[in-house]
Amino acid sequence: MSSILHLPRSRHFNPRVPLAGLGDGVTCVDAAADTAQTYSEPAEAGAGSDASDQPDQPSRIKVDGINYVTFPRGIQNWENIDQDNYVLLGAIGTTVTIISYVVPPGRNAIIYKVANNFVGGGWVEGTGDVIWRILVDGSPPPGAVSYDTLLASLGNPASPTEIPGFRVFENQVLTLVALNNPAGPDGGVVVAGQRVGARFVGWNYPTDIEASDIWL
């Protein structure tokens, strides 16, 4: 199996910086004003007030409202992400990878629906005998660490659960794994052909529309 090259990063992701304006304004799904806008960088201090004296300024998409998590209106060249898979449950004490998705170079991504489930006998939901984890480069996603220890199903892959959403960045590896947990109340699940499933739903977009201060 070929190894995955991770580009080095000298800075750390700031989860509180919005996606190019996924911002402070929250709009409902059907709001009439829920439209994309473009804007220009402000003129430098001391510049003349006559617009005709100002050089053309580059504009970029500014996305207002949380509705854009679920559908990227106004963003050009976005691409759908829909990953689902089932694998056999691993032996007690082992972890299996259900999904592994690498964000392409030059793209960042938003995940807004997830699913994880168990098919077969010997497991009681919520006990912790099976633990699912959503990881980015082997660690919980910044700003979404509550998905590090999932004790119950978030819906089967045919009907994933919508979540607040989190971002993943170019060349990062997004995984959903399942641990057959020996520390569970029943000491894990005795393997007998059971399967664990998962799904990620979201979209990716060009990195050049990302807010410039996304990295600290």
Q: What confidence tens digit (pLDDT) does each residue in 135-182 have?
A: 999 999 888 888 999 999 998 899 999 988 888 999 999 999 999 999
Is residue 160 within 8 Å of 198, Cβ to Cβ?
A: no
Half-sphere exposure of 147 (CA within 13 A, CB side): 30
What CATH number is given for 79-208 in this structure? 2.60.120
Check whether 3 has a pLDDT greater than 70: no
Task: Give pTM, 2 decimals.
Answer: 0.69
The C-alpha atoms of residue 131 and residue 127 are separated, in whole angstroms, by: 9
Domain boundaries, the chain: 79-208
Residue 33: what pLDDT? 38
Which whole number is the average pLDDT over 44-61? Answer: 48
**Alpha-carbon torsion (204, 207, 210, 216), positive or negative:** positive
Per-residue pLDDT at 164: 85
User: According to the model, what pLDDT value does residue 213 have?
Assistant: 57
Would the pLDDT of 201 be above 60? yes
Helices (H), the chain: 67-70
Rounded to an integer, the average pLDDT of 79-83 is 92
Give the pLDDT of residue 165: 86
Alpha-carbon distances of 150 from 14, 64, 147, 153, 154, rounded to whole Å: 24, 31, 6, 8, 8
Greater confidence (209 vs 63) lies with 209
* Token reading at 17: 């910086």
How many Å apart are CA 57 and CA 43, to the nearest integer? 9
Q: Is the pLDDT reported for residue 1 higher than 90?
A: no
Which amino acid appears at position 158 of this protein? A
